[in-house]
Amino acid sequence: MCCDNNNNNEKSCCLYNLLNDILNLQNMDMNNCSCDGCDKPFLGPSLNCVCYNTRPLSFYNCSTGALWNIQYSLNGVVATSNVFRIEKLDECCCTCRVLVQNDDSTYTPTSQFFTIDLNCVSAVQCHPDVFIDIC
């Protein structure tokens, strides 16, 4: 785990750095993106494509290894999701929007958010980049 209780410095946290790069990409802030290796430094299939605005994420619990599932309500239906969009990052806390995965591999954004302590996350899974209509 990168951000343990003994070293809560966001600059040394690998999860913080990864999520910060993704947040900068989603905000189209390419000047602050320092992605390398397997972290693709742009959203979508090519650098010239601007039709993507989200890199959906899933988080794994550091204690159990299970996916984090968050309950949401959308159009009168209450369910859980394990796919999210990062919206804000503060030190080792990450605020995310709950996404609902549709049958056609697209996502519907909800108006529900949660904040997760990166100390509780052992891994982040990135899903293929998508465009999400966020009002």
Rounded CA separation 53/44 (Å): 8
pLDDT < 50 stretches in the chain: 1-3, 10-12, 29-38
Q: What is the pLDDT of residue 61?
A: 94
Compute φ and ψ for 25, nearest 5 degrees: -65, -45
Domain boundaries, the chain: 10-126
Query: What is the model's pTM?
Result: 0.77
Q: What is the pLDDT of residue 84?
A: 98
Which is nearest to 78 in space by CA: 106, 100, 103? Answer: 100
Rounded CA separation 34/124 (Å): 18
What is the tens place of the pLDDT at every residue in 21-36? Answer: 899 888 874 444 444 4
Q: Which residues contact 77 (CB under 8 A, 6 or more apart)?
A: none
Q: What is the pLDDT of residue 13?
A: 73
